[in-house]
Each structure stands twice: as structure tokens, then as C-alpha cells.
Amino acid sequence: MFSMIEIIGFTAAICTTSAFLPQVIHSFKTKRTKDISLPMYITLTFGAAMWFIYGIFIHSLQIILTNAVTTIFSFAILTLKIKHG
Amino acid sequence: MFSMIEIIGFTAAICTTSAFLPQVIHSFKTKRTKDISLPMYITLTFGAAMWFIYGIFIHSLQIILTNAVTTIFSFAILTLKIKHG
């Protein structure tokens, strides 16, 4: 079975990865992104992509998968921000 | 000296941690948070706090420090979102 530490780590990873999905849905539906920071999503998309590359280098499937998802979500919000201003 | 992999990991950590600061400043200055997703910042604050606790359990100063910062930034945005709606 999983240890308490593993459950905490797994919960943390699920939360910080899935957190961006409600923002993707919100921005897609409302087509309003004025209150969202552009520099935030430029930096976050770049950073998550760097984590993804880092995961490939150190052969960590967990880092690769979670950051592939984060890069996609963050890039989706960035695209909506650029589109709707 | 640092290896290329270490530099990529360090750059990734700096970016994904500091990314939230422009949003804190943006929301604080404009007092407008309508386009920001509430469920995103509830989930992100909780997730970052879980990573922080995980870092304490596995004695990783890097996970502790980066997630302390992320928890503070995410909680600040969450507080501004609750305040300004």
C-alpha cells in the first residue's frame, strides 16, 4: 500500500497539475482575460516546458507527465490571453 | 560548476515559482479579479501547501522553499479574488 508521505505527494501533484484546468474552462467560456497577467503565463509556460525537458534528462516519468499537462494548460491560457487581451 | 541539467532544473524552478508574482501585483494594483478562476487558486494553494508538507517529510529544502513561496503567492491571489470577486 501507499505510505502517508506518498499519498501527500500524490495529492500535491494532482492538485498543482489540475488547478489550471478551471482557468482554461473559465477563460474559454467567458472569452474575457483582462484580469489575467500576461507575464505570469509567459513565465509559467516557459518554466513548465523547462521542467518537462529536465524530466526527460533525469528520466523521471512523473516530472515529464505532470509538466506536459501543466505546459498544455498554461499555453492554452496564454493563447486565450493573447487572443482576447 | 553546474551541469546543463542542473541549470535547466534551476531555471525551471525559478520560472514556475516566480511566475505568480506578476499576477499578485496585477490583481493588487487593478483590484479586478473577475476573469480569474476561484477553483484554480483554491486548488493551487492547497496543492502547493501539500508540496510544502511533502518537502518537510522528505527533508528537501528545495521543495520546502519553492512551495513556501508558491503557497504565499497563490494564497495572496486567492485572498484578492475573494475580496474583489
Answer whether residue A2 shows pLDDT above 90.
no
Helices A61-84 and A38-57: angle between axes, nearest 10 degrees: 160
As given in the structure block, the three cell numbers for residue A11 are 495529492
As a dihedral over the C-alpha atoms of residue A41, residue A64, residue A57, residue B48, rounded to 10 degrees, the angle is 60
The C-alpha atoms of residue B43 and residue B22 are separated, in whole angstroms, by 19
* Residues of chain B contacting residue A50, judged by C-beta atoms under 8 Å apart: 8-9, 11-12, 15
pLDDT at A71: 98
DSSP-derived secondary structure letter, B36: S
Measured CA angle at A31 (ends B26, B23), to 5 deg = 15
pLDDT at B2: 87
The minimum CA-CA distance between A1 and chain B, rounded to whole Å, is 18
Whole-model pTM? Answer: 0.95
3-state secondary structure string across A25-62:
HHHHHHCCCCCCCHHHHHHHHHHHHHHHHHHHHCCCHH
- Give the tens place of pLDDT for each residue, A6-31: 999 999 999 999 999 999 999 999 99
* Residues of chain A contacting residue B5, judged by C-beta atoms under 8 Å apart: 54, 57-58
Write down the ipTM of this complex: 0.94
Mean pLDDT taken over chain A: 97
Percentages (nearest 5) of helix, strand, coil residues in chain A: 80, 0, 20
- Give the tens place of pLDDT for each residue, B4-63: 999 999 999 999 999 999 999 999 999 999 999 999 999 999 999 999 999 999 999 999
The minimum CA-CA distance between A25 and chain B, rounded to whole Å, is 9
The C-alpha atoms of residue B30 and residue A25 are separated, in whole angstroms, by 23
